[in-house]
Amino acid sequence: MASGKRTSSHPTSSSKPPPLHPDVAGDDPLNPLISRLLEKQDAEERSFEGWPGRCWVISDGTMGMVSQCLALLRALDIDAQDIRAVPTPLLRMFPTLAAIPGWQLTLGRKPDWIKAEQWPDLLVTCGRRMAGIAIGVKRLSKGHTRTIHIQDPHVPARHFDLLITPAHDHIAVAQREGSKFTDNLLVTTGALNRLSPEEIAEAKTDLPEEIKKSAKPIIAVMLGGNNRRYTAGGEAFKKLGDQLIALQAKTGGSLVIIASRRTPKRHLRKLSQQLESLPHHIWDGTGKNAEDNPYPGILGLANIILVTSDSVNMTSEACITGKPVLSVHLAEERGRIAGFHQMMEENGHILRLEAVLSGEKPLPKKMAVLDERAKIAAQVHAFFGIKS
């Protein structure tokens, strides 16, 4: 933990307001009020030059949440200390309790990062379960720490300095429909992406030769599985196997399947047996380190990418490639996740696999790229007055 005298990172007066970043568009369809919001920030004539001096990411280690926080900071070109914390069960249910003086934030003994009282200039958190931690740190720092929270926290936005949520989250839908205006909200189409096209292209060179020499087109299959909305059972994976057989017959290619932690092992084994006669490779999650995961390289090598609909993160990441991305529905999505897929289809980022197999839609050679990193970074810089 860093120590020593902490310099002030609060806004200071300047002779003229910092100019808005040139990448900030006033006609952003997902953020129609962004120009008004940024004009308000601009008029305050403040400057965060050299800010933030200290930045934290606090999470419980859930990969989907950590990756979005780190993706944002990477886009902002900010280094951060990665801290693990487990909020109390009551705080997970009622995050605003953290605003009460003396309220306990984490399970067990008080962690060192709280006892040290060396509060960061910026804290980034993601997901409702960590919203209370963000609120608590802001209270403990006596307002010194500015907070960015990713995803809808389902508590009033005033508890955070800035919210960044995908367009399918409830708070973003309410703003789009005009039922609620949140003046510290930035909206994205999908999840924030931790990968870059350059990294994806470079990673494919490290793949085993047997995969690189697979028959073209190479069809990458990014598998999710069980989630809070439904359990992906044997019938769903049997149907998936039938669809993969049909797509391979249609294209004459080979399959490379990447399983996630949520993919049931027994269904993955049966899927492998079902595809036994086809050219295919399966990565089942073995390997101790992050670099053992061939996922980025497979995205770079693939000619066609299939992603199960349960994962907004994987779908968003696949769409940075501009390659044909086909969504596979292990179960029919409903509610806000269905809205996400509808928006992605309407914007030309994805197609449903069923539509291609039935002949309703032709298999395209390329699709619209989804890469929001520069836009969101520019908007965050402008919001806080950071000189990027």
CATH of the domain at 351: 3.40.50.2000
Indicate whether 1 belongs to any domain. Answer: no
User: Which DSSP letter does residue 385 get?
Assistant: T
Indicate whether 312 belongs to any domain. Answer: yes
Residue 3 confidence (pLDDT): 34
Question: How far is 219 from 255, CA to CA, in rounded Å?
Answer: 5
Q: Is beta strand 46-47 parallel, antiparallel or unpaired with respect to 12-13?
A: antiparallel
The angle formed by the CA atoms of residues 189, 320 and 190, to the nearest 5 degrees, is 20
User: Over the chain, what is the mean pLDDT?
Assistant: 86
* pLDDT tens per residue across span 285-313: 665 444 567 889 999 999 999 999 998 99
Q: In terms of domains, do 319 and 377 share one? A: no
Q: In terms of domains, do 242 and 185 share one? A: no
**pTM for the full predicted model:** 0.83
Residue 332's domain comprises 197-357
Residue 177 confidence (pLDDT): 82
Indicate whether 54 belongs to any domain. Answer: yes
Indicate whether 326 belongs to any domain. Answer: yes
* pLDDT tens per residue across span 55-80: 999 999 888 889 899 999 999 989 99
Burial group, residue 118, by CB count within 10 angstroms (0-12, 13-18, 19+): middle
C-alpha dihedral sign at 165, 171, 173, 178: negative
Indicate whether 224 belongs to any domain. Answer: yes
Q: In terms of domains, do 155 and 34 share one? A: yes
Q: In terms of domains, do 302 and 255 share one? A: yes
Indicate whether 363 belongs to any domain. Answer: no
Indicate whether 248 belongs to any domain. Answer: yes
Indicate whether 187 belongs to any domain. Answer: yes
Largest CA distance in the chain: 72
Q: In terms of domains, do 242 and 282 share one? A: yes
Which residues neighbour 251 within 8 Å (Cβ) at sequence distance 6 or greater? 217, 219, 304, 363
Question: How far is 384 from 388, CA to CA, in rounded Å?
Answer: 11
Residue 4 confidence (pLDDT): 33
Q: In terms of domains, do 169 and 128 share one? A: yes
User: Which DSSP letter does residue 106 get?
Assistant: B
Identify the CATH number of the domain in which residue 73 sits. Answer: 3.40.50
* pLDDT tens per residue across span 361-372: 999 999 999 999
Residue 106 confidence (pLDDT): 94
Q: In terms of domains, do 42 and 154 share one? A: yes
Q: In terms of domains, do 54 and 124 share one? A: yes
Q: In terms of domains, do 54 and 160 share one? A: yes
Domain count for the chain, please give it. 2
Q: In terms of domains, do 237 and 174 share one? A: no
Determine the 3-state secondary structure of 195 from DSSP. coil
Q: In terms of domains, do 181 and 229 share one? A: no
Q: In terms of domains, do 44 and 180 share one? A: yes
